[in-house]
Amino acid sequence: MEFIGQSKAFLDIQSLIEKVRATDVPVFISGESGTGKELIARAIHDQGLRKQGPFVAVNCGAIPDHLLESELFGHARGSFTGALRDKAGLIEAASRGTFFLDEVGDLLLPLQAKLLRLLQEKEIRRIGENRTRPVDARFVSATNKNIEKEIEHGLFREDLYYRLRIFTIEIPPLRERKDDIFLLANYFLKKYCSELKREPIHFSPLALELLLNYAWPGNVRELQNEIQRCLVYADGEDLIKEDHLSAKLNPARENSPPARPTFLRAKAEFERRFVSQALVRCGYSRSRTAEEIGLTRQGLFKLIKKHRIDVQNLKNKISEH
């Protein structure tokens, strides 16, 4: 997947990548699960001095604790039961490239100590070996945990934290990057239509509105999964409609008119919903609503009349919920 967006937050992150890409300093990426931390780490690698080298990514939470040290640092033959041969760790595999340690907050304290020594000395010691080996890799780490709280609870080393976060990038959740939702939704729609070898389809106005208004607790990963799901439900149709969305996006099971969409119909549907939502936000005050959306009272009355918005009925519906 590409790292794409158009929001101010996205452009700020791009600017940070520009600043750090030509250096070798460790980068620490924080953000909720599903925001795209690995994509940013890969962008730093692909745009950096080590782009010809390997990009090695490890998710600390995905490997059992008793195996993680061997996976990261390697081992010598006979160092433990099952160690039938010498094995280089993934950190060594990242030589002359970038090593990305995802969910670093899940590392146990003994491994944190080994990682700190690695960052300080630029060398590692495989399990069961006495000699050290030089390491030439750039380190990027990420977490969705609040590391400051982990430090307070004695679960994360403060000295390691400061070593990892020489340069930090914070990714805001998708709900704070509304401008990126439309772009990402269409990107995934085009991508999966191509993979499924089907003709491109589009979103209905209401489906798109529901996508934009949802909070996306799972962020970009959740949006990606939702679009895949919608395509399965829209099999054979040329439009993703609101009833194709999962219940959490469309809990009221709203439906649009069944007619084939046109630009004028989509524009009218958007105007009706835009005005209705503004009235709700402003407590059904015509004056406040007109001021908020930049219309005169007369202009607002014309839209209410044009779209036959029953303000009292709207008020009753909201109060019922």
- The mean pLDDT values, 10 residues at a time, for the chain of 321 residues are 84 95 95 95 95 96 90 89 87 96 95 95 92 94 95 96 96 91 90 89 84 91 95 86 89 58 68 79 84 86 82 60 44
The CATH number given to 176-320 is 1.10.8.60
User: What is the model's pLDDT at position 321?
Assistant: 44
pTM of the model: 0.76
Using the Cα atoms of residue 207, residue 213, residue 216 and residue 220 in order, give the sign of their dihedral.
positive
- Looking at residue 33, its pLDDT comes to 94
Residue type, 175: R
pLDDT value of residue 253: 67
For the chain, the structural domain boundaries read: 8-172, 176-320
pLDDT of residue 281: 77
Q: List Cβ neighbours of 250 (8 Å cut-off, separation of 6 or more).
A: 210, 242, 243
Q: Which residues contact 212 (CB under 8 A, 6 or more apart)?
A: 178, 181, 182
Asked whether 244 and 207 are in contact (CB, 8 A), the reply is yes
Fold of the 8-172 domain: Rossmann fold (3.40.50)
Separation in Å, CA 129 to CA 86, 125, 132, 239: 10, 6, 8, 61
Per-residue confidence (pLDDT) for residue 206, from 0 to 100: 84
Q: What's the 3-state SS for 210-232?
A: HHHHCCCCCHHHHHHHHHHHHHH
User: How much is the pLDDT for 263?
Assistant: 65
* Predicted local distance difference test score (pLDDT) of residue 260: 53
Calculate the CA 103 to chain-centre distance: 14
Sequence letter at residue 139: F
